[in-house]
Chains A and B, each alone.
Chain A
């Protein structure tokens, strides 16, 4: 499997938003929202991107969808470079990559019936010949997301949050996509509904062989559906590995801190929390060296000047930390973390 060509390949993706200011509206600086991110996703695989709010994880998703132009880097979908494709050529490629958004309320047009919402991608890509055929396909989509067929003539406000999210998933399935980007797709839902939606996503993945890019801030959620996890901090991936490695033997101090923040449903369980102090530094003016050094409990002099690179430490596990690559220090990091 690993030698096969990945479905999505992202190389050194950068997205900098210019800041306009002053009298002439000149560019006075940049927000380095995503600053050199590389990863790939294989067919039928789930990759999660986790990180605090503001770390650029949603920007990655939107940049991949070409909702805005990227600053630098390359994106390949099934071997074809899509980041610099003209809009006319990009349109057919969009059929293969769809999105589910966080907010189930603002992600559905309040003035369109469910049938028309779901029909939009079908007609856009010419997947049905007649109106009846469109309706038939829409009904089949409703079956897929376990919603009653006869509710397609209703408006979005007649549904609950979880049902709306199912409609959002159905819309993403409509064009027959290979990759679905779930941008915090379950964060706005109640715990019980969240579980249902996660189970639905996992079922659909098994059924249709979908690849998922699951963007989330919630490690506990991610644990249930992901194959691999990429941890982002301030526009960079600091660690990327498979799920088991992450939860067992991840190296990066930031990952350990995130893991230690996941609630444990047992108040008496011994906990070894790494409490991070301070806020995430501003992405307008990221700190030199390792971006995490201002908050890292293990930071030393080298971290302040030299930026660690994301390097493979074995078994598809990469980490960007000087400690990981300095043999003596690794042990200490592990001891404090685990």
Chain B
């Protein structure tokens, strides 16, 4: 519009405003993601690093983690023994690296199986009201028993092996997934789009598969990462108490248990596996936190 069309005044164009705002930073897709979700990137990187360490443990300048060398026991960290040796002369560095295999296998397996079992039961409970009451009371019962006690009891009933550790921890963890999925299903089945699907003749299995399941995936992934972290701690606790991974397989828990007696004179035996465990659990939790924020900000309140 030109100035002359405005009645009652001689207007000129407004003066150019000084540009006080900083130029918006232009970032690529990758860098944008890094800045937007730093916890996912940091957590994910550390977890990926741990996975690589576990896979390539034999090639990372390790020795046989079970080879005994009584003559060279309880050596301090040195060029030859990076993390020192334990009271049987085994190389702590090698044992810690191989121990990553146990922790990560247990963590990921428990997260995977707990997610699958919990989702299956949660879906059934959420959809069949009669089954729901019974199933959820059983879950409440399972959750009322302290997880680690239940796992110790289960381990006492079976032989010490990694498979049994995974089973024991899965049994203590899956009720949480079950509850979460049931809750999400209960809220989703009231959604108008589910009602519209029912009204347009969609069969129940298809509704679960196409409308319910994809929308539970985000909270499920978040929950799975937290279960992964707590399963790693549970495994270490069980191994530390001597009820977990058999002593011939090095795991962070039983390395710490063996180093416990020498804690005051040779702290490095406990220190290194503890550091690895802490960093891994922290990284997995950071990844979970980041995923939660990225996938559904409202979920933060629900969990």
Q: How far apart sit A121 and B199, CA to CA, in the bound complex (Å)?
A: 9
Q: How far apart sit A98 and B198, CA to CA, in the bound complex (Å)?
A: 10
Given contacts A111-B214, A111-B215, are A91 and B196 in contact (CB under 8 A)?
no
Q: How far apart sit A147 and B85, CA to CA, in the bound complex (Å)?
A: 72
- Say yes or no for A171: interface residue by CB 8 A criterion: yes
A107-B193 in contact (CB<8A): yes
Given contacts A109-B211, A111-B214, A111-B215, are A120 and B193 in contact (CB under 8 A)?
no
CB distance from B303 to the nearest CB of A (A): 20
- Say yes or no for A94: interface residue by CB 8 A criterion: yes
Q: Which of A91, A92, A107, A110 contacts B215 (CB 8 A)?
A: A110
**Among B199, B202, B203, residue most surrounded by chain A Cβ atoms (within 10 Å):** B199
- Say yes or no for B210: interface residue by CB 8 A criterion: yes
- Say yes or no for A191: interface residue by CB 8 A criterion: no
Give the size category of B's interface with A. Answer: 10 to 19
Interface digits, A139-154 against B, CB 8 Å rule (1 contact, 0 not)?
Answer: 0000000000000000
Given contacts A106-B191, A107-B192, A109-B211, are A124 and B199 in contact (CB under 8 A)?
no
- Say yes or no for B197: interface residue by CB 8 A criterion: yes
A91-B201 in contact (CB<8A): yes
B192-A175 in contact (CB<8A): no
B192-A125 in contact (CB<8A): no
CB distance from A174 to the nearest CB of B (A): 7
B200-A175 in contact (CB<8A): yes
A175-B196 in contact (CB<8A): no
Q: How far apart sit A303 and B159, CA to CA, in the bound complex (Å)?
A: 78
Instruction: Report chain B residues within 8 Å CB of A107.
Output: 192-193, 196
Given contacts A110-B215, A111-B215, A112-B210, are A62 and B195 in contact (CB under 8 A)?
yes
Q: How far apart sit A94 and B191, CA to CA, in the bound complex (Å)?
A: 19
Q: How far apart sit A171 and B194, CA to CA, in the bound complex (Å)?
A: 13
Instruction: Report chain A residues within 8 Å CB of B201.
Output: 91-92, 94-95, 121, 124-125, 175
A124-B196 in contact (CB<8A): no
Interface digits, A81-120 against B, CB 8 Å rule (1 contact, 0 not)?
Answer: 0000000000110110111011100111111100000001
Q: How far apart sit A156 and B195, CA to CA, in the bound complex (Å)?
A: 17
Q: How far apart sit A175 and B196, CA to CA, in the bound complex (Å)?
A: 12
CB distance from B140 to the nearest CB of A (A): 15
Using CB atoms, name the residue of chain B closest to A156: B193
Q: How far apart sit A120 and B200, CA to CA, in the bound complex (Å)?
A: 8
- Say yes or no for A198: interface residue by CB 8 A criterion: no
Can you name 28 A-B residue pairings with CB atoms under 8 Å? A65-B195, A65-B198, A65-B199, A67-B195, A94-B200, A94-B201, A97-B199, A99-B196, A101-B192, A101-B195, A102-B192, A106-B192, A107-B193, A109-B197, A109-B215, A112-B210, A112-B211, A120-B210, A121-B200, A121-B201, A124-B200, A124-B201, A124-B202, A125-B201, A171-B200, A174-B200, A175-B200, A175-B201
List of 3 A-B pairs having minimum Cβ-Cβ separation, nearest first: A121-B200, A107-B192, A101-B192
CB distance from B127 to the nearest CB of A (A): 14
Q: Which of B191, B199, B202, B211 contacts A99 (CB 8 A)?
A: B199
Instruction: Report chain B residues within 8 Å CB of A103.
Output: 192
Using CB atoms, name the residue of chain A closest to B218: A111
Q: How far apart sit A108 and B195, CA to CA, in the bound complex (Å)?
A: 10
Q: How far apart sit A114 and B214, CA to CA, in the bound complex (Å)?
A: 16
* A-B contact sample (18 more), CB < 8 A, given A101-B196, A112-B210, A171-B200: A67-B195, A67-B198, A91-B201, A91-B203, A94-B201, A95-B201, A97-B199, A98-B200, A99-B196, A101-B192, A106-B191, A107-B192, A107-B193, A109-B193, A109-B210, A109-B211, A110-B215, A125-B201
Instruction: Report chain A residues within 8 Å CB of B195.
Output: 62, 65, 67, 99, 101
Instruction: Report chain B residues within 8 Å CB of A91.
Output: 201, 203
CB-CB contacts below 8 Å: B173-222 with A: 191-193, 195-203, 210-211, 214-215
Interface digits, A47-74 against B, CB 8 Å rule (1 contact, 0 not)?
Answer: 0000000000000001001010000000
B193-A108 in contact (CB<8A): yes
Instruction: Report chain B residues within 8 Å CB of A120.
Output: 197, 200, 202, 210
Instruction: Report chain A residues within 8 Å CB of B193.
Output: 106-109
CB distance from A159 to the nearest CB of B (A): 14
Q: How far apart sit A234 and B220, CA to CA, in the bound complex (Å)?
A: 42
